[in-house]
A and B are shown apart, each in its own frame.
Chain A
Amino acid sequence: MQSNTESTLPTEPENLPETNAKKHKSPLQLAFQRFIKNKLAVISVFVLLLIIITCTAAPLFTDQDPVATDLFQIEKSPTDEHILGTNGQGQDNFARLLYGGRISLIVGFSAMFFTLAIGVLLGSIAGYYGGKVDSVIMRAADIMLMLPFLVLVLTIMAIIGEVTIGLFVTIIAITSWPNLTRIIRATYLSLREQEFVLGARAIGASDLRIILKHFIPNAIGPIIVNATLMMATYIIVESGLSFIGFGIPQPTPTWGNMISEAQNIRILRDHPEAWIPPGVAILVTVLAINFIGDGLRDAFDPKSNRR
């Protein structure tokens, strides 16, 4: 954490001689160097990119419409036209797999982003100002954590009724900020006592500037690592909620929606090609994200060095 105190000195020279350049790698550059040495994490980045590109460029890989229903083609086994067969509404499973990946990834990403925004904001306020604001925010976090996540989310969904993608993401974010807020607050508490913060304050830096320029950059490691792992969790949460019928409503394809077809015993028994691919897609995506997250953790915090 101390390694970048240098860069926060106001008198840092603009142009360093070539010979000194090596010593002045930013912590982010150092982390990146450590990250690319982790083979598993780098492979995972490529796997994830491949999944993202395939889903984004879905129209290049299939001519089928993921939501068009064809009542003459219900629960068909794979053919040349429908590579993975069709589902109970006669929709093409392969097209749904690709287009569904888009929704699953977007939901996972935006829920992560939204939670991150709330978590960083509340964590910063609680950790920086301390005192009463801190206790209020932390008690609110305790209260949110009292009910199991799924129970809270389902209860809210029962009250609201119809769910859209935006609403879904919002519900996830407002029920799951406490963990991230706690982590960020804890990081800030240790930063608050350090000399460079005192120094910044002494030269008259505003609260906002100290938070943006000193606190967030120093807490960036835990923030990025947790954001990554959160995205993996949210992809699983989306699929789980969709499976029990409380996720993104049909006919929008998501991986969870596709697996939920297997609640029908006929599809479960006779058409594994309909529900296994989306499950494997979730598994591979989540594995890749988790490996990247672990790689990032080791890169940002070389001390953690898990044996």
Chain B
Amino acid sequence: MYKYIIRRILVFIPMLFALTIIVFGLSQLAPGDALTGKSLADPNVDPEVYEQQREALGLNDPIYVQYWRWISSAAQGDFGDSLIFNGRTVAQLIEDRIANTLYLGLFSLAITIIVAIPIGIYSARKPYSLLDYGATGFGFLGLAIPNFFFGLIAIYVLSINLGWFPSQGTLSTPGITGFEAFVDRIHHMVLPGITLGLAGTATYMRYMRSEVLDVLGSDYIRTARAKGMSDSNVLYKHTLRNALIPIITLMGFEIGVLLSGAVITEQVFQYPGLGTLFLSSVVNRDFPVVMAIAMILGVLILVGNLIADILYSIVDPRIRYD
């Protein structure tokens, strides 16, 4: 197992390197550079001064020197300055937003787990029951409805017409702290959290159902039953332990899906997270911010996959790296 984990971590390093190459390559394709939009691009400025400035910033250096400078400062959290928000660094902009997105992601993951796993188990234990059919129907709908459309309906019904939940933002009164702020935050996250977690909930429900059904049909469950083991022991000691293995792995991959989905969901609810920052930066062509967020999301996904693989090797000792 340790051998597997070490090899898996060794594979992680070239992938991380490839990721930095892609992000840097994309940033080179992007029009404009650090001087575009600043006063130096002014037509009244002598082109020679402009050229000196480029030289001073190292924009005329060979590409690998630029790459090295970018990657070594990025590793220290320095992604340069925003082109749009004057005087603010990319790191500051991201710092303001990243916590909101992580809260939203975790909240929606929690909803997914709390809803999908028990219903999946129930569906598998009582297949073709009313609730099973209901869950299957919900699963189909959850995967077919565009999440922004679901979000709009949620705002229309639950926020505008019934007034139960706020439709945007993170806090209703600025400046509140402590427990009050915590409750207010959760209240604001309910609709975006459900919207973001909808597709995941539908997917995990179906996975859980088919995994539990698979395990319930296996020989060792029949043996356990034949020994006279109680139903709840069969379920908790044998079935769930085996059925949850693939689910745990999928959770690691879910990070990417959630972060990707956050771009659209945050836009629907005007939620101030990385997604809305990413989108406004794409619209304003604020490339340093775009690249920094792409880099952060890429790293989070790589780490998520790494954790998933390592967890998988721990919970299932049969897995070996060939």
Contacts and interface: CB of A to CB of B under 8 A. Distances in A.
Nearest to A156: B26
Interface in A80-98: none
Given A268-B156, A275-B152, A157 B282 contact: yes
Question: Is the interface on chain A under 10, 10 to 19, 20 to 34, or 35 or more residues?
Answer: 35 or more
Given A158-B282, A246-B282, A148 B160 contact: no
Contacts of A232: 144
A249 interface: no
A68 interface: no
Interface in B79-134: 127
Interface of B: 15, 18-19, 22, 26, 29-31, 127, 140-141, 143-149, 152-153, 155-156, 160, 210, 213, 256-257, 259-261, 263-264, 267-268, 278-279, 282-283, 285, 287, 290-291, 293-294, 297-298, 301-302
A234 to B, nearest CB: 12
B294 to A, nearest CB: 5
19 contacts: A142-B15, A143-B15, A146-B22, A146-B298, A148-B256, A150-B263, A150-B264, A151-B263, A154-B282, A155-B294, A236-B146, A240-B146, A240-B148, A244-B148, A268-B152, A269-B160, A279-B153, A283-B141, A283-B146
Given A159-B31, A244-B264, A244-B267, A146 B213 contact: no
A289 to B, nearest CB: 8
Given A245-B283, A287-B140, A146 B19 contact: yes
Given A147-B297, A268-B155, 16 more contacts: A146-B15, A147-B294, A147-B298, A147-B301, A148-B256, A148-B257, A148-B259, A150-B263, A150-B264, A243-B146, A243-B148, A243-B267, A259-B152, A275-B152, A279-B149, A282-B146
Interface string A137-152: 0000011001111111
A306 interface: yes
A154 B279 contact: yes
A301 to B, nearest CB: 15
Mostly, the B contact residues are: helix
Interface in A110-168: 142-143, 146-152, 154-159
A269 B156 contact: yes
A142 B298 CA distance: 12
A4 to B, nearest CB: 29
B146 A150 contact: no
A276 B153 CA distance: 8
Interface string A247-282: 000000000100100100000110010011001001
